[in-house]
A = this chain, B = another copy of it.
């Protein structure tokens, strides 16, 4: 799939990475990891994709794992910001859940290549870096769980297993990165709206079935 939408344009998802050479290397690493996998990619491949020498790469990143750590940290920090912003937002628990699912899906669809690297290469991180990322993931989980618990407490939601449903909601959104294609039948916004509706139903706050 094309990554043009992810690596340029108005969103500038790696805009926080400076200088420019460090950002170009990071974008090249995301593309290489997504195409060939972390273990099949060398720092030489990454430098080549960025039009730079291995020595120039080494100025910015000492190891390949450092690149993955940076990608994973930025990706997870963004995911967490999306979910916490929704959890802290205005409105009912249902409003906040809709916003969490919609924005999390749009991110996974719009940045599918990055999201796949972030989600599938966790095991390749060094132990300490992996522990850091696991903490960010727990906070993502906590943000969604908080919305569900608030909805249950307010009588808006009917959820027998809040932990399990939290996991299912996040899982449904994350897997968008696996199947979503910009050439497919839906836009990221359309998937976000459809999934928000499905998740409201999962928590017992959606449209009732004809038999209810």
Does B175 contact A210, Cβ atoms closer than 8 Å? Answer: no
Does A107 interact with chain B (Cβ within 8 Å)? Answer: no
User: Is A195 interfacial (CB 8 A cutoff)?
Assistant: yes
Q: Mark A183-199, 1 if CB is under 8 A from B, else 0.
A: 00110000100110110
CA distance A209 to B163 in the complex (A): 18
Is A201 on the interface with B (CB-CB < 8 A)? yes
- With contact pairs A36-B37, A210-B158 given, residues A171 and B176 touching in the complex (Cβ less than 8 Å): yes
Is A164 positioned at the interface, with any CB of B under 8 Å from its CB? yes
Q: Looking at the assembled complex, report how far the CB atom of A207 sits from the nearest CB atom of chain B, in whole angstroms.
A: 6
Q: Mark A156-178, 1 if CB is under 8 A from B, else 0.
A: 11101101110110011011101
Find out whether the CB atom of B194 lies under 8 angstroms from the CB atom of A204: no
Interface bracket on A: 35 or more
Q: In the complex, which of the residues B161, B195, B197, B209 contacts A205, with contact meaning CB atoms closer than 8 Å? A: B209
How long is the Cα–Cα vector from A171 to B176 in the complex, in angstroms?
8
A40 interface residue per 8 A CB criterion: yes
For A161, the closest partner residue in chain B by CB is B194
CB pair A155 B208 closer than 8 Å = no
User: Which of these, B36, B178, B195, B201, contacts A39 with CB under 8 Å?
Assistant: B36
- Please tell me if the beta carbons of A157 and B209 are within 8 angstroms of each other in the complex: yes
Of the candidates B157, B160, B194, which one forms a contact with A164 in the assembled complex, judged by CB atoms under 8 Å apart?
Answer: B194
User: Which residue of chain B has the shortest Cβ distance to A167 in the bound complex?
Assistant: B179
- Set of chain B residues within 8 Å of A160, measured between Cβ atoms: 197
Complex: how many Å from CA A185 to CA B167? 12
A212 at the interface (CB under 8 A from B): yes
Complex Cα spacing A38 to B37, Å: 8
A168 and B194 within 8 A (CB): yes
Q: Within the assembled complex, what's the spacing in Å between the Cα atoms of A174 and B119? A: 14
Question: Out of B36, B164, B176, B201, which one reaches A201, CB within 8 Å?
Answer: B201
Q: List 10 A-B contacts (CB under 8 A).
A: A36-B40, A119-B178, A158-B207, A158-B210, A167-B179, A171-B175, A171-B176, A174-B178, A204-B207, A204-B210
